[in-house]
Chain A
Amino acid sequence: MTNAGTETRTFRMHVNLGPQHPSTHGVLHLELEMYGEYVLGIDPVLGYGHRMHEKMAETRPWQSFLANTPRIDYACSLPHSHCYASLLEQALEIEPPPRARSLRIVTSELNRIASHLLWVGAFLLDLGAFTPILYCFEDREQVVDILEHITGNRLTHAYMCVGGVSADADSAILQKTREFILRMHNRFQIYDRLVTNNIIFITRTRDIGIISPEMARAYGATGPVLRGSGVPGDIRKIAPYGGYEELKFETPVGAKSDCLDRYHVRMQEMRQSLNIIEQALDQMPDGPVQAKVPRKIAPPPGHYSFSVEGARGDVTYWAVSDGSEIPYRLKIRSACMANLSLLPELCKGMLLADLIATLGSLDLVIPEIDR
């Protein structure tokens, strides 16, 4: 920079993105190596939201850890609880009653819609579009209100419990859910006019951040990131759990593996989730919502694994029991961590603005990575 006058030159520089930068969605810290506007490499620094959930699991009874599970991924908390509760049910050989299974599906899918709506708004905000998040939050508010009525919480729903769910849903709120489905189908037309067909949005995301199916597989990327790359990988479809095997839905996939495809996949998934909720409501039987569960939960010695499809991909819990009331080891698989781990390879040679778009398209919840 010794050149005087109007002459400029490009040089290498080190840029810190985050941990408090809004486009890193929480507390992710990226150390960027830049050459002008181009990214040469990134080094993600994790751990700002680390709470040591896995150690907490080893210090408290099995059922007490259920209260931790919604706090791992706060944007889509019910699949985490669903996974942990199902793992214990599998270990103890408990079958939740049919009504509880339906309620689990309805609430999980509502949670998925809420999470995707939050993502659409935040993603567009990253790209510089302010208006869509106002629409998204208006719709998300409806979902959160329904979930609050059913589960008692707005964000960290303590709803799933071993052997079923903690509370039944009354017919009024189920009717309200049906009204929401109708409303939401109409709202997609607004999103299409506002976002999907918006030429600025398309230009910012088309052919940006192309993740090949091979790359997604090598890094263990799952969820909409994998499906955006054209691989129809969805645990609800491949290895159904908790009643998903009785429901009809499609697995939307992308064709070009870019940010725009990941947007399309999530928008289509919300429509599929509405279909799932409608079917689950139609088929919902009457009856109890909790199975008989022993007062002391102590799975027999051995190891247990359970996987569900969260809003961000493969959520797997793997537990080792020594036969006591306290887990010996609990491993929580975070989908976001695998999805983010491909970014250092993907970002090389990208423009900084495209990196922000790609980072946004991965739908990261940082506390889920850090656990």
Chain B
Amino acid sequence: MNDGTKSPARGQPWAVYEPSDAEPWNLCRVVHLHRRAGFSATWRELRRDLKDGPKASVDRVLAGTSRADGVPENFAEMAALLAESARDPERLKAWWVYRMLFGPDALTERLALMWHNHFATSIAKVREAATMRRQNELFRTLGRKRFGELLHGVVRDPALLVWLDAPANRKGHPNENLARELMELFTLGIGNYGEADVKESARALTGWTVADDTFKEDPARHDDGDKSILGRAGRWKGGDLVKALLDHPATARRLAWRLGQEFLGEGAADAAGMKMLADGLRERDLDVGWGVETVLRSRAFFAETNLRTRVSGPTEFVVGAARALETFDAPPSTLVLADWCARLGQDLFQPPNVGGWPGGREWVAAPTMIGRANFAAALVGGRLGRGGAALDPAALATRHGRGGGLGDTVGFFDELLTGGSGSRERVLAALGTLAANDPATVRRAVVLILASPEMQLN
């Protein structure tokens, strides 16, 4: 943990960020905002936000109106069509990638991804794509409400109930799977309950099952006896348990931790800062929307120590690259993009286990770095399905008034993709002194930037 001595965010990490000489509102921070809270942005969007300042920029991110490019007019219709045809895992994954890449509201999709990780459910066991998609819609519609609304919804969600064997948990035959993960992963976190609490909670949840693909509470299967959970005796029912878990202070701490994991880099907030965030959530009835807004506007979020200190997840990386390079006219196949997310370690709708993807440094390993470089080469080379032609990033730079010479072109892509990490010089050196500012060279430059270690951090 960072002791915060270097950071001006010390003391009041959640105060609203105001640009200063030390921490100015610059392109690096605009790119930072969009890589952390969305899936990167186009040059036009970046320039607009640079001009309008942090308040207007974060307002737009929160309102889901930040995307000025690439959102098709008939997006809602198309998304609905794709949803309907998503009857197998591959098309289900492609549907979500379509939403992330083309939808107007990047933050909501990012939060859906965060909740998918928090309530990690896998189609490998649930089987039904439509059931998984309904769960995913829950993350989208309730993802910024009070956590109680989301939790009450998710614990009654058929996909989650099947995933955690709730239908097998009945009076006299308790199955601990749901009870344990509800406490350990979804609310309290390890160390805040005992084994006896798990056993008794499993009894409280007996009778919760799925019939005709909908939640059902079956009184005949419910164990109506006395139970003692977290030090309180009574004839607990499943709903009582969820309420008690929501009231527990450890749940606010876990929620703050989850928001930090999604939006903050290594050492961006210390223990005291995280406690303040948890306290704030608790005072506001675990209002996730408040938590998200507080973090995204905060000094901690825009502090120097929070820039490029978080490993970009595979899906953020894949979708972000496609978006920043404006691959909208002849877009890559979303089926292939989803497959790349899986190859880089994040198989959507199929997390490794109920703990989700641990993220952070675990995303990075030698072969993943090769994988990310290979994705970059395939994207830029137009080898992501639909028989596409290679991208023409040189033309993109020219269109945005850059591209006066190779140095300027490479600088443009360094700024667009990483906010200006300084990879420009190294890429130019790799291209060699004789390299011309031609389409093939510029393609190679973009691949090298996307594959660079700096690009893997946001």
A and B found bound together? no
List residues of chain A with CB under 8 Å of any chain B CB. Answer: none
Binding site for A on B (CB under 8 A): none
